[in-house]
Structure 1
């Protein structure tokens, strides 16, 4: 899977590349299928959102299944082999780590960790504290020569307060720690555990070879009564992959 920034020029550029692959398909149908791939019901809805994004758009995942399903609804045969990477454009990010398919979030604990981390990364992107582009760190006081830690707070979809600590880990990665019902600034510590709050989880956000979180729930601490609240949250990553191996 790949992602692109929600920009009019980028979407149009991607569509032009797709037309080279499907030169027999109607342009309007490709527009509708591309809108579906980006999570919109119609091309008109996509265009309206593109207008709202402005000059610094967020990234959105491209879903091949939704694209192909919409194409079939419009009367075309299925093409399960199609990948958006085949229509590569400069602005496109790869979001699938090699062997990502081997990572599964099957247990309640793993789902809780995944959901917590995705919520934290999504919020950092929404607030534009950082982006998915390599080295694009925007928090106040960021100094590429140093390694300051930036804290921000937000409310999870399950209405629990969370605190995030983010800092540049080098090699275009971000180190991200999250605490729920946080206690002071303990979330900054890599091994804070319950000292940071009732829940504590960490990850690294890869941004050089693509954009994905590195799956590392080994340091995850969670009070038992909060596991179901976190694991039941419905949250999708905002333009990056939610499976990746830890880079040592």
Structure 2
């Protein structure tokens, strides 16, 4: 995949929880535009839109999750259209490429999450390795929190205890891996349905203490990033002019080159005060 195209995808995307009801709603909405297509073909194409190689793979992932803590996915148009063309043998038309958008479908009150913000087109990642690396670290940390059932991209859905007796506040630290890279993160409720997320890779011995601070830097680990996840008006990673980021020089290229797909939120959006 071309790295520039990957990082500069800024079209509005719709996110859904991977639940039976949400997938049924998406299929019902899609069928309005493709009434003559086989149900099985649409099912496979929707799985591709969610980032899965097959419907069977999507189902397997759903079975791994407790119903109260579903996984989340962004619905992407090009994988949907490509899989549909492969299943039916009908080439994707220019009209489909220009006109089909999950963001414009009628879901009839279904459980979908908007991810577009007013300033999304102003956020660029392709011109800076540091901004790409910050983006990748933040997305990995948010994804891990969702995977561990600590929170979701939906407003108000926090699942960690309100009081952490070790620190006397409502934050939570958690560990995870990015491939073979050890990582640690902290999440705090920042009010107004925002979450404050701090992430450190290759954490220091005392990283669990320092990752909770806004400027933990190299005291937390060899790579440190912090930012905010918006969830009230939609779900997106807030991107300011100068995101908080520190990275050892020898780690930058590796982190900037990671390919991590957000789980149910946009990787860029307006910064909220």
TM over 0.5: yes
Counterpart in the other structure of 2:3 = none
Match of 1:195 among 198, 201, 219: 219
Note closer, same or farther for the CA distance 1:154–1:48 as it changes in structure 2 (3 Å cut).
closer
Shift of 1:58: 1.1
TM-aligned CA deviation for residue 12 of structure 1: 1.3
SS where residue 170 of structure 1 aligns? Answer: coil
Work out the CA distance in 2 between the residues paired with 1:135 and 1:188.
Answer: 21
For residue 72 of structure 1, the aligned residue among 69, 81, 85 is 85
Is the contact between residue 133 and residue 252 of structure 2 (CA under 8 Å) also seen in structure 1? yes
Shift of residue 147 of structure 1? 5.3
Post-superposition offset of 1:46? 3.0
Query: Aligned in 2, Cα 1:22/1:206: closer, same or farther, shift over 3 Å?
Result: same
Are 2:213 and 1:213 equivalent residues in the alignment?
A: no
**CA deviation map 1:112-140 (0-9, x unaligned):** 11111111111111111111111111113
Change (3 A) 1:232 1:55: same
Map 1:86-125 → 2, pairs under 5 A: 86-89=104-107, 90-106=110-126, 107-125=128-146
- Answering whether residue 241 of structure 2 is matched by residue 223 of structure 1, we say no
Structure 2 unmatched runs, 5+: 1-12
SS of equivalent to 2:15: strand
Give the drift of 1:142: 4.8
Deviations 1:139-181 (A, max 9, x none): 13359xx952211222332x33322121001110000111232
Which residue is equivalent to 2:73? 60
Tell me the distance in 2 between the aligned counterparts of 1:238 and 1:164: 17
1:149 aligns with 2:167: no
Q: d(CA) in 2 for partners of 1:175 and 1:141?
A: 15
Distance 1:49 1:155 in 2: 18
- TM (norm. structure 2) is 0.81
Q: After superposition, what is the alpha-carbon deviation per residue over 1:15-39, rounded to whole angstroms, capped at 9, x for unaligned?
A: 1122123223332322221121112
Aligned length: 245
C-alpha displacement of 1:102: 2.6
Equivalent residues in 2 for 1:1-12, closer than 5 Å: 1-12=13-24
State the secondary structure of the residue aligned to 1:235.
coil
Q: Is the 8 A contact 2:15 2:264 kept in 1?
A: yes
CA distance in 2, matches of 1:17, 1:43: 18
- Which of 3, 9, 27 is the equivalent residue of 2:39? 27
204-213 or 52-61: bigger deviation: 52-61
**Backbone CA RMSD of aligned residues:** 2.2
SS of structure 2 residue aligned to 1:40: coil
**Cα deviation, residue 227, structure 1:** 0.8
